[in-house]
Amino acid sequence: MSAPRVKLDIDATREKLAALGLAHAVEALDGLLTEAVRAEMPAHVFLERLLEAERSGREERRIRTMLKTSKIPTGQTLENFDFAFQPAIERSRIETLATGAWIRSGEVVLMQGPPGVGKSHLLVALGVRAIQLGFSVQYFRFDELLTALKADAHLRPERLKKRKYMSSSLLLVDEMGYDPMIREEASLFFRLVSYRYGRGAMIITTNKSIRDWTELLAGDEVLATAILDRLLHRAHVLNIKGRSYRLRDLEEALKA
């Protein structure tokens, strides 16, 4: 049996919705009208369903666009993180961070630990969650961030603060500490940290412990102290000591 056809002239309605920019409502209109007739849907329910189609369509598009423009790598989420494998990471702590309250107050998450323990995975997963919550997010590997900072070194302040690494609600900085910085890089990084301090949230992952930061920051102890002072004020420090997930696969292959 075919679905009952709606005998309404809805072209004019469709055109008005389109003129108002309600593209998702236009798309949902036919199906919803058919259903409304068949199920004898009250007018207020129909209206609610139509508006919801528009709202959820926009929300999905916003998330898709932001995932792309944030440059965030794909595939790593909180759902596919194996907490049992890494007992050094308290699940409840990550779940609290996943609420995003710390992002609103511009706080910092610093994740330290050896290779393969899941630092980047958690950074990406929390970034994706932040996008779903509606925050603007930007991802940089640390070396890419330095390249961008150097390219913008002579930008005037009013242009500089429009850069995504300054203006995003959440800045993700992955893999800090592989190479020591030169003096110019260290002071550009300081400028970024002081601008964002109290304004915007950050997640930084690093394989260096805090006591190595002076060496990392061009050997400048004054600068290192000034940076750490700002980063660690109201910071969430996660020290991840544990086995490498990458090596787990190797261990299992060797066992087999």
Q: Which residues in this chain contact Mg ion in the complex, by CB under 5 A?
A: 120
Q: How far is the CB of 113 from ligand ATP (least distance, A)?
A: 6
Q: Which is nearer to ligand ATP, 17 or 172 (CB)?
A: 172
What are the start-end ranges of the E strands in 35-102?
A: none
Return the range that interacts with ligand ATP (CB under 6 A); candidates 82-90, 97-105, 194-202, 215-223: 82-90
Q: Is residue 116 a contact residue for ligand ATP (CB under 6 A)?
A: yes
Q: Which is nearer to ligand ATP, 31 or 115 (CB)?
A: 115
Token reading at 105:
């107050």
Determine the size of the site formed for ligand ATP (CB under 6 A). Answer: 18
Q: Is residue 127 a contact residue for ligand ATP (CB under 6 A)?
A: no
Q: Which is nearer to Mg ion, 129 or 141 (CB)?
A: 141
Residue 86 interacts with, from Mg ion, ligand ATP, none (CB under 5-8 Å by kind)? ligand ATP
Q: Is residue 212 a contact residue for ligand ATP (CB under 6 A)?
A: no
Task: Match 């779903």 to its residue by tokens.
Answer: 132
**Binding ligand ATP by CB under 6 A: which of 26, 70, 100, 119?**
119
Q: Which is nearer to Mg ion, 120 or 138 (CB)?
A: 120
Q: Is residue 70 a contact residue for ligand ATP (CB under 6 A)?
A: no
**Binding ligand ATP by CB under 6 A: which of 15, 30, 59, 82?**
82
Nearest to 181 by CA among 206, 217, 207, 215: 217
One-letter amino acid for residue 69 of the chain: T
Distance CA 166, CA 169 (A): 9
Token reading at 93:
């702590």
In the DSSP assignment, the letter for residue 117 is S
Token reading at 180:
């020591």
Beta strand 108-112 pairing with 137-141: unpaired
Q: How far is the CB of 251 from ligand ATP (least distance, A)?
A: 13
Token reading at 65:
């666009």
Strand partners, 111: 205, 238
Q: How many helices (H) and strands (E) does the chain have?
A: 13, 5
**Binding ligand ATP by CB under 6 A: which of 76, 112, 138, 168?**
76
**Helix/strand/coil for 167:** helix
Helix (H) or strand (E) holding 250: helix 245-255
Residues within the interface to ligand ATP (CB under 6 A): 76, 81-82, 85-86, 113, 115-121, 175, 205, 207, 245-246
